[in-house]
Amino acid sequence: MSKTPKNYEAIAAKAPTALHEAFAQWIYEQTGFRPDLKSVQLAVALRMDYQASPENQADLAERKRKAAAAKKASAAAKKAKLEAQLAKLKADLEKVETEPAAADQPAVETAPVEDKPKTTRSRARKATATASEAPAQPKARTPRTRKTAVANPPAPVGEDFDRVDLDEPATKPVRRTRRTAATKTATATK
């Protein structure tokens, strides 16, 4: 790409195009401000050249440098504030540690306070419901898993075992994966 200097006077001498006119009208509709047509034309034509210019690049670098310095100063101020808070907390801790213990001070006699839970309507209902109910129900069985199967083997087969159960066809195993519509129709046509 060649870096030939542009002739900005020639660009400014050109007549505005339909795009420039439409853009100026759009700016007026959006903002209520009617811009000069020649200003819109020059802004559209020269914007990219301005952004790439050394003057703009130097300005951007200066703004970035100032922003970095401000961020560094803010971080230093925050660090100083946190260190001051830490020093205050350490001083308070030392003050508490150097104070005489509560055992050294005379005890103030107080009447013992009974710790009763606050009785609410729901607690009162639960208390009366549990007192009036029949004995507690047996605990529900937990589902059988590999761990419970090893820990609790099935009971041995007793006299109530029927040979008729062996003649019945076995049930289909439960499918663990979801079938898609295509496989459903394929199995339905079989």
Q: In angstroms, rounded to a whole number, what is the distance separating the alpha carbons of residues 146 and 150? A: 6
**pLDDT tens digits, the chain, 190 residues: what are they?**
456 778 888 988 999 999 999 999 999 999 999 999 999 999 999 999 999 999 999 999 999 999 999 999 999 999 999 999 999 999 999 888 887 655 555 556 666 666 666 666 666 666 666 555 555 666 677 777 777 767 666 666 666 555 555 556 667 667 677 777 777 777 777 6
* Dihedral angle sign, alpha carbons of residues 177, 181, 182, 184: positive
- Within 8 A by CB and 6+ apart from 17, the residues are 41
Question: What are the extents of the domains in the chain?
Answer: 8-98
- N-term to C-term CA, the chain: 69
Runs of H (alpha helix) within 133-190: 146-151, 164-167, 181-189
Q: Output the pTM of the full model.
A: 0.38
Tokens of 48: 């990219």
- 65 and 43 in contact (C-beta within 8 Å)? no
Question: To which residue do tokens 């903002």 refer?
Answer: 31
User: How many angstroms from the chain centroid is the CA of residue 69?
Assistant: 31
